[in-house]
């Protein structure tokens, strides 16, 4: 009987000895899936942060160009383009909107001004902002 007890104890020792290769591979696969999903979430967050930074900067630049309409570029139908010091490009498009006569010699001219800001890198990202600008004109 003592040899029977040794055999049973020996097989129990083998089973308690550690993980099998299959258990290890399953655990490693689960860990890899969690790490992959975590890294993908970080990558999406970084991309969203870059997009938010671009939108914030581009909107400030577009607002500054709209505020300078008639000073940096003329309020007459057509397009004007240029670059900011930080490398971002801009394009302003001016179109006639409406004209209202004030009296026989004066009128108010309305222009639709749209400013588009482009990112300096070739990502193709752009941001457009439009506004109606008013200028005084003569009837002639």
What the block records as the tokens of 101 is 């006569």
In a domain, 14, yes or no: no
What the block records as the tokens of 122 is 């070739």
In a domain, 69, yes or no: yes
In a domain, 66, yes or no: yes
In a domain, 77, yes or no: yes
Read off the pLDDT of residues 84-117 as tens digits, 9 standing for 90 and up.
999 999 999 999 998 888 888 888 999 999 999 9
**What is the average pLDDT value for the chain, to the nearest integer?**
85
65 is in which domain, residue-wise? Answer: 21-134
In a domain, 7, yes or no: no
Q: Residue 111's CB: how many other CB atoms inside 10 A?
A: 21
Q: What pTM does this model have?
A: 0.69
Residue 18 in this model has a pLDDT that exceeds 80: no
- Give residue 81's pLDDT: 94
In a domain, 38, yes or no: yes
Give the mean pLDDT of 69-76: 89
What the block records as the tokens of 26 is 């399953």
In a domain, 8, yes or no: no
Domains identified in the chain, total number:
1
> Which pairing describes strands 78-83 and 106-118: parallel, antiparallel, or unpaired?
unpaired
In a domain, 72, yes or no: yes
């Amino acid at each position: 009987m003592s040899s029977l007890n040794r055999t049973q104890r020996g097989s129990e020792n083998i089973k308690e000895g550690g993980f099998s290769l299959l258990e290890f591979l399953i655990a490693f696969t689960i860990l890899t899936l969690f790490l992959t999903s975590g890294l993908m979430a970080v990558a999406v967050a970084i991309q969203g942060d870059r997009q938010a930074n671009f939108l914030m900067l581009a909107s400030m630049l577009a607002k500054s160009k709209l505020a300078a309409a008639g000073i940096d570029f003329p309020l007459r139908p057509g397009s004007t383009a240029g670059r900011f010091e930080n490398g971002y490009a801009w394009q302003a498009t001016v179109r006639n909107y409406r004209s209202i006569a004030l009296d026989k010699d004066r009128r108010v001219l309305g222009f639709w001004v749209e400013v588009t800001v482009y990112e300096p890198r070739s990502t193709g990202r752009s941001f457009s902002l439009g506004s109606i600008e008013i200028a005084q004109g003569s009837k002639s």
